[in-house]
Homo-oligomer: A and B are copies of this chain.
Amino acid sequence: MAYTIGKLAKAAGVTLETIRYYQRKGLIEEPAKPLQGYRLYPAQTVQRLRFIKRAQQLGFTLKEINELLFLDSGHCEDVRRLAEQKLHQIEAQISSLTALHGALQDMVSGCGSAETDNRCSVIDALSKNGAT
């Protein structure tokens, strides 16, 4: 099953502009244009677009996603090395988000109860040194 760009966009839940942008950036391949007619995208491009969107939601930049995508086609050893690198990044990201979560939670729970002066404790907490 093949898609024209509009169908592809609809199937993947992105806009035409996004697809073209990703092509320019090398995140997805631009199928050769038939000498007359429209480009046709293979079904797997839908998956790829979804992958990109998901990874983006997870806080990866397009540049990082591009790297991740390259993992798919390289030698298994390179793949492994890069993937492990990514894993460490993700671990770090999770733990810093977890710390942030705790800090914010503390702030929120202090809020409303510990207003010694007329300022919010959330602001106070953020101005000092707390979560890393």
Residues of A that sit less than 8 Å from B by CB = 47-48, 50-51, 54-55, 57-59, 68-69, 71-74, 76-77, 79-80, 83-84, 86-87, 90-91, 93-94, 96-98, 100-101, 103-105, 107-108, 111-112, 115, 119-123, 126-128, 131
By a CB distance below 8 angstroms, the chain B residues around A58 are 93, 96-97, 100, 103-104, 126, 131
Jot down 10 A-B pairs with beta carbons below 8 A, ordered by A.
A47-B127, A58-B93, A58-B104, A68-B123, A72-B119, A72-B122, A79-B120, A79-B123, A80-B122, A94-B101
Most-contacted residue by chain B among A58, A77, A128 (CB, 10 A): A58
Are A72 and B105 within 8 A (Cβ)? no
